[in-house]
Amino acid sequence: MKPASWQRLRQITQVLALGLFIFLFIQSAYLGQSSLLSGVFYRLDPLVAVTAMLAGRLIIPALVLAIGTVIFTLVFGRIWCGWFCPLGTILEWTSLHKKKIAVRKSEPSSFWRKIKFLLLLVILVLAVLGNQTLLFLDPNTILTRTLAAAIWPELRYGTFSLENFLYQFKFLWPVLDAIHAGLIVPLFHNIQSVFIAALPIFIFFLGLIALNWSAERFWCCYLCPLGGLLGWLSRYSLLRREVHQPCKQCGLCNAQCPTGTIDPENGFRSDPAECVVCTNCVKSCNQGDVAFHWQLPHWKPVVKQSYDPSRREALVTMATAITGAALAGIEPIARRSPEHLIRPPGATLTDFESLCVRCGECVRVCPTQGLQPSLLEGGWQNIMTPHLVARLGYCVYNCTACIQSCPSGAIPKITLDEKHAAPMGLASINRDRCLPWAFNTSCVVCEEMCPMPDKAVVLVQGKGQGQGLGQTGNAELLKPHVIREKCIGCGVCEFHCPVGGEAAIQVYSLPGNKPPLSGI
Amino acid sequence: MSKKKPISRRDFIRWLGMAGAGVALTGCAKSDLPSPILTNSTQTSLPVISTSSPTQTIAPAGNTYLVVSRGESPAEITRRAVEALGGMHKFVKTGNDVIIKPNICTDYHTFEYAVTTNPEVVAELVRECLAAGARWVRVMDAPFGGTSESAYRKSGIADAVTAAGGQMEVMNPAKFTETPIPQGVDIKKWWVYQEVLNADVLINVPIAKHHNSAGLTLGCKNLMGTLQSRDLIHENLHQRIADITSLIRPDLTVVDAYRILTQNGPTGGNLNDVKLTKTIIASQDIVAADSYACTLFGKTADDIEYIKLASRMGIGTKDLSSIKIEELTV
């Protein structure tokens, strides 16, 4: 194949991979019975696989597929980053200053490339200590989370707003109805969502794009921990870029390199750990002096680079990671669960916080969008883990969407019966706010909404007399009570409670099942 | 660095225009909450209604006013009930746009749990409407548990209706519009799904089931599925149900009492609470249909506040002794 064909093939692969990612994202919606295909990218992600298994201390069969990516990388180099990674593709497309030689000078020093290796080291050490806090920096989790909790809801809001506006004009209705039924319902399923963490998640994503001003694919070159892992593996790859003599030192390849790893001071050679196998350099070379070659049978690992972390740096970093893990251990959550930290169904059956890779797939599929990425609700260490905000959306009684979609098994693959037997929390009535209790006003919404076949909210004849609001004459008021043994904490009562602001019935965390300061 | 040009006037205006368009777009968003209804005091006593004349669109005396049809096949007893009322062509004319409103309240259970309307009953009505010449027949509800799509599917209604040639519609949030309720006692306006008001024919197909706050959920209560901000209806449930019924006025009410839920309604989930009564009640008068349905639970219309109120407002009659009832067994 000609160099240009390789380039074209790479671009097509990138489009297909990003397209597949977005397609899987869109189709992973809860429709009652459909099986969910989402999570394919997580199964191929070796960083997620390694940390989830280390932190969770078990073999997760669903994630074993990531070995494929490792083998691919050992053969072809950092091809994941250059050809497949959806976030990498977006960052490549949003890099404004391609093909300008002068820009290279404004890039940060190569010295900073070590950050991604050190970040990887921190993540691995933390994983050994049972902590996956920093997995929110995995590129796949970043993209899923940003799409799920910011970009997709924004698109949906914008679409619905425009639709609302246009529906004021009655003559447009036939056209709008056709668009609504044919396009908008299949895409958005009429789910309207709000997200507490939308703004920080979106700003973080914009920040990654903004870094492209400093250097093309800045995130991929300097920060990405998955890039660090794959780059480190690429040092041993079988296919590597080579420069043949006589090279004319024209610098064209350097100008085309998206990761800036081609070093004019070193005969325009490059570091396989940084090279994403985009083949731009092969195309740019007029002489045909640049090519990718198999290293067999004379294979040997690549020489070290000046920006590789030194032993001392590595040791300091590991010590820092251990300090961080210790810090996590003295957060309040280590002693008591926050009152409203309701985890997804079944999460009480696993070591949820150690297994959760912060990907946001459950947030995406939750049909009520009550599952939200945390900010600090679960402490700093649990940032971006999912929790149920029942006032914004409840857990649907017969829904297993999050159970099906969780790639790491943090939400275990339980059956519906097991889900109904595993409470997420416990509802509790605030008698100072509840309409019948506090205001002698009849209201039984919580009892009505309770999905348990044998209701967990029961109505007991109260002593107060009905004053208005539909209560006629001297009928006695019915007052709700929660039966603790029956409540599974789904939060539908809290969601529908008609009092303003904070609900008069709320779901509270279950007593923690971890002993305090359990340690490593 | 110093070579960078300052922003040109053209660019400045272009950006200003784009920002202005963005701000203007925010005006497109509709506010979600019904503002005028949120008061802390609600009307407690019913005013005497003198102005609203009983606008009953009721068949002339002598004709069958209400049909009670019993038998083994849900579809067959539905067919016979409509036939006894004069046939579907009495309600549906050629080219009509028909909406059928069953009760699909949650996606928790299949129809055997008597929480959602029997799919065979709905499908039979779809077939009859099409046979009577309807242009299209849409079926819809707004579940409070799960999503519309999942509830439509779980209830079995989606499959049955599609097979019968009807169309399931997911209610479009953009089409709930604040609508005046001229006869309303407690509420004078509410957010109502406009298609339900615009359709040529509206057929109301509730399932008869137990309901703790409403007593029983029947025809009038089923109309709540066409409203937005339903939690606020509960503030004065019975009067507001009656008020809504005065606005929506289905052309035909078919109460599905093939299976009824006697306990733990409206969400159910326990087959022991389900009673097989194998009955269909049909009438043009929603109040009369509801009134009769009460008897299946060993109650009368006087036990259910919203039926009493609706009858008092002149929406229909709860008095079963004054109307012609045809009972048939298939």
Running along chain A, 520 residues long, what does each successive block of 10 average in pLDDT?
A: 87 96 86 65 94 92 91 94 96 75 68 94 95 95 96 93 90 92 86 91 96 90 96 93 85 87 87 92 86 85 86 95 92 87 92 93 92 94 96 92 91 93 95 92 87 91 54 65 95 92 94 56
Nearest CA-CA distance, residue A186 and chain B, Å: 10
Residue of chain B minimizing CA distance to A435: B235
Mean pLDDT across chain B, nearest whole number? 86
Contact B212 A478 (CB under 8 A): yes
B158 located within any domain:
yes
Tell me, what's the pLDDT at B39? 45
Identify the DSSP state of A114: H
Enter the tokens of residue B61: 């005396």
Separation CA A177–CA A234 (nearest Å): 53
The model carries a pTM of 0.85
Report ipTM for this prediction. Answer: 0.77
How confident is the model over B151-182, as pLDDT tens digits? 999 999 999 999 999 999 999 988 998 999 99
Q: Which of A32, A163, A469 sits opposite B107 (nearest CB)?
A: A32
Q: What is the dihedral of CA B216, B220, B221, B226, to 10 degrees?
A: 160
Contact A367 B264 (CB under 8 A): no
B82 located within any domain:
yes
Nearest CA-CA distance, residue B30 and chain A, Å: 7
Which structural domain range is residue B201 located in? 69-281+292-329
Tell me, what's the pLDDT at A231? 95
Q: Which of A30, A185, A450 sits opposite B267 (nearest CB)?
A: A450
User: Burial letters for A227-255: b for 16+ Cβ neighbours within 10 Å, e otherwise?
Assistant: bbbbbbbbbbbebbbebeeeeeeeebbbb
Contact B149 A445 (CB under 8 A): no
Contact B146 A396 (CB under 8 A): yes
Average pLDDT over residues B283-307: 93
B50 located within any domain:
no
With beta carbons less than 8 A apart as the criterion, state whether A273 and A220 touch.
Answer: no
Query: Which residues 146-165 in chain B show a CB within 8 A of chain A?
Result: 146-151, 153-154
Q: Which of B154, B174, B231 sits opposite A496 (nearest CB)?
A: B231
Distance set, CA A445 to CA A493, B234, B273 (Å): 7, 7, 20
Nearest CA-CA distance, residue B212 and chain A, Å: 6
B76 located within any domain:
yes
B108 located within any domain:
yes
Domains along chain A with CATH numbers:
3-26+36-126+203-294 (no CATH), 426-508 (3.30.70.20)
Whose tokens are 């005396």? That residue is B61
Cβ–Cβ contact B127 with A under 8 A: no
With beta carbons less than 8 A apart as the criterion, state whether A99 and A255 touch.
Answer: yes
**Helices B286-295 and B305-312: crossing angle, nearest 10°?**
150
The distance from CA A73 to its chain's CA centroid, rounded to whole angstroms, is 23
Query: How many other C-beta atoms lie within 10 A of the C-beta of residue A343?
Result: 28
Contact B173 A185 (CB under 8 A): no
With beta carbons less than 8 A apart as the criterion, state whether A477 and A306 touch.
Answer: no
Identify the DSSP state of A505: E
CATH of the domain at B273: 3.40.50.11440
Query: How many other C-beta atoms lie within 10 A of the C-beta of residue A307?
Result: 17
Strand ranges inside A375-431, DSSP E: 386-388, 426-429
Residues from chain B that touch A496, judged by Cβ atoms under 8 A, are 144, 231
Residue of chain B minimizing CA distance to A447: B212
**Helices A139-146 and A198-210: crossing angle, nearest 10°?**
130
B15 located within any domain:
no
Q: Which of A164, A177, A445 sits opposite B234 (nearest CB)?
A: A445
With beta carbons less than 8 A apart as the criterion, state whether A216 and A98 touch.
Answer: yes
Residues from chain A that touch B106, judged by Cβ atoms under 8 A, are 397, 451
Cβ–Cβ contact B243 with A under 8 A: no
**Helices A225-234 and A114-128: crossing angle, nearest 10°?**
100
Q: Indicate the number of domains in chain B.
A: 1
For chains A and B, what is the number of CB pairs under 8 angstroms? 143
Tell me, what's the pLDDT at B26? 64
How confident is the model over A188-228, as pLDDT tens digits? 887 778 999 999 999 999 999 999 888 889 999 999 999 99
Separation CA B250–CA B99 (nearest Å): 10
Query: How many other C-beta atoms lie within 10 A of the C-beta of residue A7?
Result: 17
Give, in degrees to the nearest 5, the angle at Cα B230 between B224 and B235. 105
* Mutant choice from B212, B228, B230, B303 vs A, greatest count of A C-beta within 10 A: B212
Residues from chain B that touch A483, judged by Cβ atoms under 8 A, are none
Identify the DSSP state of A297: S
Contact A192 B148 (CB under 8 A): no
Nearest CA-CA distance, residue B66 and chain A, Å: 29
Cβ–Cβ contact B90 with A under 8 A: no
How confident is the model over B176-220, as pLDDT tens digits? 989 999 999 999 999 999 999 999 999 999 999 998 778 899 999
Tell me, what's the pLDDT at A36? 60
Contact A470 B235 (CB under 8 A): yes
Tell me, what's the pLDDT at A103? 56
HEC per residue, chain B? CCCCCCCCHHHHHHHHHHHHHHHHHHCCCCCCCCCCCCCCCCCCCCCCCCCCCCCCCCCCCCCCCEEEEECCCHHHHHHHHHHHCCCHHHCCCCCCEEEEEECCCECCCCHHHCCCCCHHHHHHHHHHHHHCCCCEEEECCCCCECCHHHHHHHCCHHHHHHHHCCEECCCCHHHEEEEECCCCCCCCEEEEEHHHHHCCEEEEECEEEEECCCEEECHHHHHHHHECCHHHHHHHHHHHHHHHHHHHCCCEEEEEEEEEECCCCCCCCCHHHEEEEEEEEEECCHHHHHHHHHHCCCCCHHHCHHHHHHHHCCCCCCCHHHCCEEEEEC
> Cβ neighbours of residue A169 under 8 Å, at least 6 residues apart?
none
How confident is the model over A365-403, as pLDDT tens digits? 999 999 999 999 999 999 999 999 999 999 999 888 999
Cβ–Cβ contact B173 with A under 8 A: yes
* Mutant choice from B234, B243, B273 vs A, greatest count of A C-beta within 10 A: B234
> Cβ neighbours of residue B328 under 8 Å, at least 6 residues apart?
B67, B68, B69, B70, B80, B81, B84
Residue of B247, B315, B317, B312 whose CA lies nearest to B49: B312
Enter the tokens of residue B49: 């209604």
Cβ–Cβ contact B52 with A under 8 A: no
Nearest CA-CA distance, residue A252 and chain B, Å: 24
Enter the tokens of residue B207: 């399932």
Enter the tokens of residue B59: 């068949």
DSSP helix/strand/coil, A477: strand
